[in-house]
């Protein structure tokens, strides 16, 4: 079980860092949106650091059933592959701001679902559960900020 949890945490950290990298790329590709993407990128990197820092707490609390976490690992791995593919696509392809904003909105909504699923299976009142609830709130906040930014800039 410990190895499964280590893999889960590593994939979770990778997810946050990959999204941070994607948003950093957007800040370079779309100078008119630099501040917007740069701020969200930094927040994603911070999410990765938070997850990385909870290893000991996670093992002490042992909050996830193995069957639940194994499925979530697969989903995280798939999301990481997709995000890396999008990084390559935007690095060498699309220069369309609308594509970047739409992708980010989709990712934030799907990541929120992933974090939500995690703590729905967790026992209440655990430190790890509270951390993932905060991260889920940040994902929702990012999605709302992206929607607001799109609206303010005439993309919807």
Higher pLDDT: 156 or 100? It is 100
Model pLDDT for residues 29-69, shown as the tens digit of each residue? 999 999 999 999 998 898 888 888 777 676 666 555 556 77
Residue 55: other Cβ atoms inside 10 A: 14
What is the reported pLDDT for 118? Answer: 56
- Coil, strand or helix: which one is 36? helix
HSE-CB at 147 with a 13 A cutoff on CA atoms is: 10
Question: Would residue 80 be called left, alpha or beta, if left means φ above 0 and alpha means ψ between -120 and 50 degrees?
Answer: alpha
What is the reported pLDDT for 79? Answer: 92
What is the reported pLDDT for 6? Answer: 84
Structure-block tokens of residue 94: 């699309």
Model pLDDT for residues 121-152, shown as the tens digit of each residue? 555 566 766 776 666 666 668 888 999 999 99
Sequence-distant (≥ 6) Cβ neighbours of residue 50 within 8 angstroms: 131, 134, 135
Q: Which long-range contacts (CB under 8 A, 24 or more apart) does 134-138 make?
A: 134/50, 135/47, 135/50, 135/51, 136/112, 138/43, 138/47
Higher pLDDT: 128 or 21? It is 21
CA-based diameter of the chain, in Å?
Answer: 49
What is the reported pLDDT for 82? Answer: 94
Model pLDDT for residues 81-120, shown as the tens digit of each residue? 999 999 999 999 878 999 999 999 999 888 755 554 555 4
What is the reported pLDDT for 120? Answer: 47
HSE-CB at 103 with a 13 A cutoff on CA atoms is: 22
Residue 80: other Cβ atoms inside 10 A: 17
Reply yes or no on whether the pLDDT at 156 is more than 60: yes
What is the reported pLDDT for 116? Answer: 47
């Amino acid at each position: 079980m410990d190895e499964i949890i280590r893999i889960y945490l590593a994939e979770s950290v990778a997810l946050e860092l990959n999204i941070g990298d994607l948003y950093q790329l957007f800040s370079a590709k779309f100078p008119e949106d630099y501040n917007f993407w740069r701020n969200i990128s930094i927040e994603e990197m911070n999410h990765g650091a938070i997850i990385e820092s909870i290893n000991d707490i996670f093992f002490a609390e042992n909050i996830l059933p193995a069957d639940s976490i194994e499925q979530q690992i697969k989903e995280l791995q798939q999301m990481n592959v997709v995000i890396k593919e999008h990084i390559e696509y935007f690095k060498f392809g699309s220069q369309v701001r609308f594509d970047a904003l739409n992708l980010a909105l989709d990712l934030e909504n799907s990541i929120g679902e992933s974090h939500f699923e995690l703590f729905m299976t967790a026992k209440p009142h655990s430190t790890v559960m509270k951390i993932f609830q905060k991260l889920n709130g940040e994902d929702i906040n990012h999605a709302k900020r992206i929607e607001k930014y799109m609206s303010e800039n005439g993309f919807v």
